[in-house]
Amino acid sequence: MGKDKLRRFAEIATFDNVIELENGKPLKGNWAKQQFKNNMPLILELGCGKGEYTVNLAKLYPDKNFIGIDYKGNRIWRGAKTAIEENIPNVAFLRIQIENLLDYFSEDEVDEIWITFPDPQPQISREKKRLTSPRFLEKYKSILKNGGPVHLKTDSDLLYAYTSEKIKELGLIAHIQTDDLYASALPDEVLSIKTYYEKKYLAHNKNINYLKFSFE
């Protein structure tokens, strides 16, 4: 591990807005009250990377709480540091494996989920690792409040098609979907937030797919 990564790992351990691994389990069911000291709605960004969506959503919606989730601490460092530097109180980051979500969030605790440019896991043998595979969708259903939406933004046409198929197979509700977000009339101040990876894809004229769906 390089010196910069080691420094960032050491630094996030001192951040009040970063919760790592087992330290997050006692907050299960009480994230708003214990971490944010309020009763505002809770929104998660899964695979948040550098936290661009988490931080920018928090700026747009100061009346909601946002948690970016990723396992890579050196990426989380960027978003967490920005939130501290800009004094954004409704942001936190949780460093865990996403497959362990149910150990950290209670039933009906989450109001909304964003999945932004996840690894599409294109190999058939890795389908279960896709963040929109049935095993992950079951976890989201468990922690989301009734009607709570899931948003997917991805450059992967394969993952978009796969997710669309699973939504139909499982009888979920697709509210919005497009295979070319920026050629549509959909982009607003929320959908126009761009992650580090999204900017790279757009620079190469890659289409961006977007899906909004819910379980009820």
71, 94 contact by CB (below 8 A): no
- pLDDT (0 to 100) of residue 37: 96
pLDDT along the chain (216 residues), means of 10: 76 91 96 97 96 96 98 90 96 97 98 96 94 98 97 97 97 97 96 92 95 96
Which residues are CB-contacts of 120 (< 8 A; sequence separation ≥ 6)? 130, 154, 156, 158, 159
Cα(116)–Cα(125) distance, integer angstroms: 22
Give, in order, the Cα–Cα distances in Å from 95 to each of 69, 76, 135, 185.
Answer: 6, 8, 20, 35
111-216 shares the fold of 1-97: yes
CA Rg value for the chain: 17
216, 173 contact by CB (below 8 A): yes
Helices (H), 26-169: 52-60, 73-85, 134-143, 157-169
- pLDDT (0 to 100) of residue 11: 87
Cα(197)–Cα(189) distance, integer angstroms: 18
Name the residue with tokens 């761009």. 194
Q: Following CA atoms 114, 120, 125, 129 in sequence, which dihedral angle do they give, to the nearest 10 degrees?
A: -20
State which fold the 1-97 domain adopts. Rossmann fold (3.40.50)
- pLDDT (0 to 100) of residue 13: 86
- pLDDT (0 to 100) of residue 1: 56
Residues 111-216: name the CATH superfamily. Answer: Vaccinia Virus protein VP39 (3.40.50.150)
| Domain extent listing, the chain | 1-97, 111-216
Tally Cβ neighbours within 10 Å of residue 208.
Answer: 23
Nearest to 198 by CA among 44, 43, 53: 53
In this structure, the strands spanning 112-116 and 173-178 are: unpaired
Which residues are designated catalytic? 119
- pLDDT (0 to 100) of residue 74: 83
Q: Is 36 helix (H, G, I), strand (E, B) or coil?
A: coil
Give, in order, the Cα–Cα distances in Å from 62 to each of 9, 32, 70, 75.
Answer: 28, 13, 22, 23
- pLDDT (0 to 100) of residue 26: 97
DSSP bridge pairs for 114:
45, 151
